[in-house]
Amino acid sequence: MEERSRTTTIFILLLVSLHIQKTHNAEIDIITDSLFLTEEDTLVSPAGVFELGFFRPGGSDENRYLGIWYKKISVQTVVWVANRNFSLTLPSSRYLLKIADPGVLVLMNNITNDVVWSTNTTSSANTIAHLDDTGNLVVTDKKMIVWQSFDYPTDTLLPGMKFGKDFLTGKEWYLSSWKSSQDPSPGEFTWSVDARSYPQNLLKDGSAIKFRGGPWNGLRFSGASGLHKNTIFTYNVVINETEVIFTYDLYNTSRVSRLVLTPSGVVERLVWVEDEKKWQMILELPKDLCDSYNICGGYGSCSSVTLSRCVCLDGTRLLPRNPKGWETSDWSGGCVRRRSLDCENGSDVFIKYSNVKLPDTHTSWFNRSKNLKECEEMCLKNCSCMAYANMDIRGEGSGCLLWFNDLIDIRVYFDGNGGQDVFVRMASSELGNYL
């Protein structure tokens, strides 16, 4: 009887051992309060598009992170990292991703119970976590979303992810670069929406603006003209009193494309080419010297086809503020009007400039209901108003965008596939030179 009991015990232990072995090196589809993700497991989306697990960036031997990557792509491409600021340096098999009381998703050391990262949420005992085929890690409580990784982008913007700001909650969605290919902690560069006035996209190096993508004009961003024949994705834009949201969707959902902010501060649009097993870059910003923020100063215009990159927006109505500086490629002083404005007497006029990257909208004002004629009348009556343009250039154009103070960060496109019309305030006496 004792021998039979010992045999039964050994058999039960063997079954338990097999069960434990089966739970490791496994692909799981949900995380609960009783089903954990270990360092040997991965959480896989329903159709196997994305995978969440532990990885070593750039082949690092020491640092490990919890992240999401494309499962079916041969080159591991991480699109989101949970513990960006806290790498896992202790030996493997010590960390778990689990639902802990009170319904919070935590990454923790299983030996010391120290929490490395968490969703910092509170929910019930019904909380589960799963990974969508969009690449979104979602925590739900009775099917209600209580937290999602799409609300906390790292360096990558995927189809369906929000980019912008919620004015009611103050929540912002923006990209921040990795420090290096081996260090996913936040680097120096950010790609975000400046929503202080009419929204525009800004690439910053710390607090300094490196590149301005320009405002949305109904067809494209005024300062990003590289995809004028875009057949890959379509933008979805919401601009109202409560939020500014940009998202994009792929025309062909079988294609794989992403937007990433690199550690060197370049915004890249990439497409996966399966036949060549590589990411193909189809757009990079900034792409040339004229994309450098405010390189030509006030009323200066950057041109990629002239020997001197900077010229005055109009070489006869506007002149360099510092002519000698411009001769040595110091364009920082910008341009000044040859003749002073005479707004008080109501004699100023507006000159049309075409194919222009709209000036920095930081000191702008906008109204969706006004037409272009009404826009001109409003600007003419305000002596601080220096220019106006349509907000939306589709069809006959609509909306009113007004600029106050100097016009900066302008460039002119010569291929006819970028920019739009802008009307700049000038002294009426300038018209005589062109009649």
Q: What is the CATH number of the domain that holds 331?
A: 3.50.4.10
Output the six-digit token pair for 326: 């411009």
User: In this model, does residue 195 exceed pLDDT 70?
Assistant: yes
Q: CA–CA separation, 412 vs 302, rounded Å?
A: 6
Q: CA–CA separation, 387 vs 385, rounded Å?
A: 6
- Percentage of the chain surpassing pLDDT 70? 91
| 215 plus 85 within the same structural domain | no
Confidence of residue 18 (pLDDT cuts 50, 70, 90): very low
Range of the domain at 91: 23-150
What is the predicted pLDDT for the residue at 431? Answer: 59
Residue 13 in any domain: the answer is no
CA-closest candidate to residue 137, choices 43, 26, 63: 43
Residue 203 · residue 210 · CB < 8 Å: yes
What is the predicted pLDDT for the residue at 224? Answer: 73
User: In this model, does residue 251 exceed pLDDT 90?
Assistant: yes
What is the predicted pLDDT for the residue at 14? Answer: 39
Residue 12 in any domain: the answer is no
Residue 290 · residue 309 · CB < 8 Å: yes
| 89 plus 139 within the same structural domain | yes
| 283 plus 306 within the same structural domain | no
The total number of residues written for the chain in this structure: 435
Residue 248 in any domain: the answer is yes
User: In this model, does residue 25 exceed pLDDT 50?
Assistant: yes
State the chain's mean pLDDT as an integer. 89
Which of these three, 267, 287, 307, is where a domain ends?
287
| 235 plus 307 within the same structural domain | no
Say how many C-beta atoms besides its own lie within 10 A of residue 379's C-beta.
25
Residue 366 in any domain: the answer is yes
> For residue 93, what is the domain's CATH number?
2.90.10.10
- Positive or negative torsion for Cα 167, 172, 174, 176: positive
What is the predicted pLDDT for the residue at 90? Answer: 81
What is the predicted pLDDT for the residue at 248? Answer: 95
| 244 plus 160 within the same structural domain | yes
65-74, 113-122, 318-327, 343-352: range with highest mean pLDDT: 65-74
CB neighbour class for 137 (10 Å; exposed up to 12, middle 13-18, buried from 19): buried
- Structure confidence by residue, pLDDT tens digits, 49-88: 999 999 999 876 778 999 999 999 999 999 999 999 999 9
Considering its fold, how many domains does the chain have in total?
3
| 277 plus 322 within the same structural domain | no
Output the six-digit token pair for 239: 């601009």
CA-closest candidate to residue 54, choices 35, 37, 36, 67: 67
Which of these three, 287, 309, 327, is where a domain ends?
287
| 59 plus 176 within the same structural domain | no
Average pLDDT over residues 337-362: 91
What is the predicted pLDDT for the residue at 418? Answer: 73
- Structure confidence by residue, pLDDT tens digits, 134-170: 999 999 998 899 999 999 999 999 999 999 999 999 9
Q: Which helix (H) or strand (E) holds 3?
A: helix 2-23
User: In this model, does residue 229 exceed pLDDT 80?
Assistant: no
- Output 299 or 316, whichever has higher pLDDT: 299
User: In this model, does residue 114 exceed pLDDT 50?
Assistant: yes
Residue 73 in any domain: the answer is yes
User: Which residue has tokens 């920095």?
Assistant: 360
Which of these three, 103, 133, 150, is where a domain ends?
150
- Output 418 or 96, whichever has higher pLDDT: 96
| 281 plus 300 within the same structural domain | no
